[in-house]
Amino acid sequence: MKILFVHGTGVRQPAFDATFESVQMNVAHFLPTASVVPCYWGHLGSDLGKGLSVPLYDQSKSLVVTEKENDAPERWALLYDDPLIELRLLASRSAAKPALTFGTTPVSMLRDSLSVLRERIDDGAWPDIRLSRLASALSAIEAVSAFSGLDAAINAGVALEPEQGLDTVRLIIARALTSGWIVEQMNAGIPAVPADVRDSVLGAAFEMLGGSRAQTKGMLGDFIKTLTKPLAAVVSAVVVDPLWQAAAAGGRAYRRSIAQGATPGVGDILLYQAKGEKIRAFIEQTIEVVSKPTGEPVILLAHSLGGIACIDLLIASAQPNIRGVITVGSQAPFLYEIGALTQLEAPSKLPGHMPPWLNIYDQDDLLSFKALPIMTGGNGITDREVRSHQPFPAAHGAYWNNVRVWEEIKSFLETV
């Protein structure tokens, strides 16, 4: 059996290659009798070109923004937005005098620990998972080490929680490293790791910085709530999306970033709604090429906008070589409900030639939707919920490293 992997909106070749590598590894592990084939349509996607249609494009600033990460999804969201947020908050409270110690200081001890962790990155001990990328881990530790407020943050952390010694600051640094690593991964197009993997990476960093893992649970909660409370209401109102952050920072001044941020992500969606036949035709041609040599059955595995395109294609015409379709984080049901799915208008049923459909969604992924409550017909629809426990938008890309996703896919394939 062949699986044809169709990507979603805004994806271009480097990011697609990274995601496809994750998909390949998981197919090999969970579905050893299947093979996966890429369907990259990004070359047909939107392109801003020189931005000549955007007023002030060549005069405005480029705003560099990262992603999000903290303990509960909301707090990891703060960290994905800025991995150094907790250290910045501590540094801003640094009216504290450096703690008095004999010999070494908290600052020198923790900087030495960072150097040790840096060596552990080189020997592969941290982060010790197969999707680790050396460059991502290095960037994360360099960002923490180079933070100008690090020494002040260390002293403030020790002063605020003296009974914990250095463990509070160790944990905050470990979280900055872990979130920084994940942000670098996501910026390279690599899907976010599941929350349990993230927490394991966090615990390992904490231990390598000299902490005791028994301390990682519980001690952090009240301290971080206190630390972030003044900020929480503001940040939750400011929104996670870099486009909104750029707009809030000064619409005209950051028009370049707003335009670049909307393309290709939003641009691909608009392009598909206007001229989706080109993308659907390309997917259809790829199906033909993949199935022709051996006549093997093909399963479509599609993410986000790729899932919309595949559902539209299967509604519009019978595809005899397609044995089933799997959509992950798809908006097809939502578009159907609001009357925007191009090939089927509510309340019409899916056509009889529609193959079995597995629709995987995550309640934390604001771009995923359920099909069963609104759509009927075809050869069966199955909704399956998975949880990444990641904040949005990280949740939208976190499916491919989630064991539950592959278990659901394996179970579905056994039925078709």
Residue 93's pLDDT is 67
| Crossing angle for the helix pair 265-291 and 255-262, to the nearest 10 degrees | 20
Tokens describing residue 82: 């800025």
pLDDT in tens, 5-24: 999 988 888 888 988 998 99
Average pLDDT along the chain: 80
Tokens describing residue 409: 């896919």
pLDDT in tens, 206-225: 999 988 755 544 444 444 45
Please provide the DSSP assignment of 228-283 as one string: HHHHHHHHHHH-S-HHHHHHHTTTTTTHHHHHHHHTTHHHHHHHHHHHHHHHHHHH
Edge-to-edge order in the sheet of strand 322-328:
35-39, 2-6, 298-303, 322-328, 357-361, 381-385
Matching CATH number, 2-46+263-415, of 3.30.390.30, 3.40.50.1820, 1.10.10.60, 1.10.8.80: 3.40.50.1820
SS (H, E, C) 163-221: HHCCHHHHHHHHHHHHHHHHHHHHHCCCCCCCHHHHHHHHHHHHHHCCCCHHHCCCHHH
pTM for the model: 0.69
Question: Is the pLDDT at 185 greater than 90, yes or no?
Answer: no
- Rounded mean pLDDT of 24-52? 84
HSE, side-chain direction, 13 A CA sphere, residue 76: 25
- In angstroms, the CA 167 to CA 202 distance is 13
Within 10 A of 31 (CB to CB), how many other CB atoms are there?
Answer: 17
Residue 405's pLDDT is 96
pLDDT in tens, 237-252: 333 444 444 444 444 4
Question: With the C-alpha atoms ordered 135, 139, 142, 146, is the resulting torsion angle positive or negative?
Answer: positive
Burial 66-75 (b: 16+ CB within 10 A, else e): bbbbbbebeb
Beta carbons within 8 Å of 67's beta carbon, 6+ residues apart: 80, 81, 182, 183, 186, 187, 393, 394
Q: Which residue has the higher pLDDT, 234 or 92?
A: 92
- In angstroms, the CA 201 to CA 184 distance is 15
Peptide bond before 194: cis, by omega within 30 degrees of 0?
Answer: no
The 3-state DSSP composition of the chain as helix, strand, coil percent (nearest 5) reads 55, 10, 40
* Residues 64 and 81 sit within 8 Å (Cβ to Cβ): no
- In angstroms, the CA 147 to CA 79 distance is 15
Please provide the DSSP assignment of 68-135 as one string: ---SSHHHHHHHHH-TTHHHHHHHHTTTSPPPP-SSS-HHHHHHHHHHHHHHHHHTT-TT-STT--HH
pLDDT in tens, 131-178: 667 788 899 999 999 999 999 989 888 887 676 668 888 988 999 999
Work out the pLDDT band at 199, boundaries 50, 70, 90.
Answer: confident
φ and ψ at residue 381, rounded to 5 degrees? -120, 135
- Rounded mean pLDDT of 248-258? 45
* 3-state DSSP assignment of residue 13: helix
Residue 53's pLDDT is 57
- Rounded mean pLDDT of 95-100? 50
Question: With the C-alpha atoms ordered 148, 149, 151, 152, is the resulting torsion angle positive or negative?
Answer: positive
- In angstroms, the CA 5 to CA 325 distance is 10
Q: Where are the chain's structural domains?
A: 2-46+263-415, 73-239
Residue 133's pLDDT is 73
Residue 81's pLDDT is 85
How far CA 369 is from CA of 234, 285, 301, 324, 372, in Å, comes to: 29, 28, 16, 19, 10
* Residues 173 and 87 sit within 8 Å (Cβ to Cβ): yes
